[in-house]
Structure 1
């Protein structure tokens, strides 16, 4: 299974909900198996969930990483908020455009899930 989860929510509760949904999918053996490719793409205000100063659920981010989930954030959104790549949590990568990453991943066969 190849899945991309899109997060753009500003509310930390909605951001947490997105991570919980992603973890639930990974723990669900009826749809997930070892070796599945899962990517979370955050853009807009959603990037804050992966920034050192504003990440409220670091342990969930670490759990996603332990599962091998790729975590991508939109550099355009970061710049718009005055945030540099150096301020991201360890292991989180920035991409030039979150929308571009979403389009590319879907073109590569990733199923799309819009989280809060």
Structure 2
């Protein structure tokens, strides 16, 4: 599994390009995203990046959004992008994925 970590809202274009390229190159490889820090703000804007992330989630990319980050940013957890799940703490989700053998990438 490839684990993509994003904590900076301005990194979504790079992360999305990396996800598209990885999915195209190896559609069977599991891909996971963990978004924490300031990154969720861009998805709550409901623009192009959110739509693209939802499309990737529908294609099988696992997307975890940090509940702590949402609380700190004042974002409504009920507004999560389609196909994403809330994780209690992004850093723990990252550690658990790595412990399970995921390869960590931070675009």
Q: Same fold (TM over 0.5)?
A: yes
**Does residue 34 of structure 2 align to residue 41 of structure 1?**
yes
Q: Note the 1:73-92 alignment, pairs <5 A.
A: 73-92=65-84
Q: Note the 1:27-106 alignment, pairs <5 A.
A: 27-28=24-25, 32-34=26-28, 36-51=29-44, 53-106=45-98
Q: Give 5+ residue unaligned stretches, structure 2.
A: none
The number of equivalent residue pairs is 107
Q: How far is 1:43 from its partner?
A: 0.6
**Does residue 106 of structure 2 align to residue 111 of structure 1?**
no
Alpha-carbon distance in structure 1 between the residues aligned to 2:43 and 2:51: 11
Q: Which structure dedicates a bigger proportion of its chain to helix?
A: 2
**Does residue 20 of structure 2 align to residue 23 of structure 1?**
yes
- Residue of structure 2 equivalent to 1:6: 5
Larger Rg computed on CA atoms: 1
| SS of equivalent to 2:75 | coil
Contact 2:41 2:73 in 1 (8 A): no
Comparing 67-76 and 83-92, the one that deviates more: 83-92
Q: Give 5+ residue unaligned stretches, structure 1.
A: none
**Over the residues paired in the alignment, what is the CA RMSD in angstroms?**
1.6
- Normalised to the residue count of structure 1, the TM-score between the two structures is 0.83
